Every structure is written in structure tokens, then in C-alpha cells.
Amino acid sequence: MNQEQRLVTQLSQLKDILEDAKAILEWFKLKVFEKSSNPSLKVFLQDDTFQQLTDKFVAFEVLWAKTSTLLKDKTIKLSQNKRNEFRKQLNKLSLQFFYLNSDVRIY
């Protein structure tokens, strides 16, 4: 796998982590809604939402750092336009993850 393919793969993995984090938050919202709708529910499920989100945050940050480092590597043969496009995608994903579960939308 060449460096450009590696960048594409890592950006795709970052998108997957972001989507997983969104799904975890949606399940948490549903759980809170269900609990508030039926407070007499006697079934208690262990809530590991915080741990799941922490795991996704760490995975995202580690992969973001690797991708960012790869983009800074001057030995990779990428045109400046292509490099800028990868940086733009990386920054967009980073902002989307940062503003996850807020009303801020990043396009």
C-alpha cells in the first residue's frame, strides 16, 4: 500500500470512528428518553456510554495524529493540491468530532 492509499484508508477509518461515536450518542439519547418516559422500569442496565465514547475519542486522536504526521512527511510524493485536499478532509473530520452532539454543523 502506498502512502496516498494509506492516507485514504486512515481518513476512511476516522469517518468510521466518527459514525460509531454518533451511534453511541444516539443510543444514549434513546436510553435517556426511555427512562424518562417510563421511570418505573425495573430493569437496570449498566451504562458504559462514557467508556465507549472515551475509547472512540482515544482511537480518533491516535489515528488523527498518525494521519497528520503522514501528511507532514515531505518524502511522500503528493501534489500540493492533493496534500491540501487531504488536510481539508482531516480538519473537517476533526471539527465534526469536536462538535459531536452539539448544534454546530460542519460541511
Quick one: pLDDT at residue 47? 77
Is this prediction's pTM over 0.75? yes
In the chain (107 residues long), the average pLDDT of successive 10-residue segments reads 91 97 91 75 71 95 97 90 96 94 73
3-state secondary structure of 104: coil
Quick one: pLDDT at residue 43? 59
* CA–CA gap between residue 99 and residue 102 (Å, rounded): 6
Q: What is the DSSP letter of 103?
A: S
DSSP string, 23-86: HHHHHHHHHHHHHHH-TT--------HHHHHHHHHHHHHHHHHHHHHHHH-TTS---HHHHHHH
* CA–CA gap between residue 51 and residue 56 (Å, rounded): 9
Q: Where are the domains of the chain?
A: 3-98
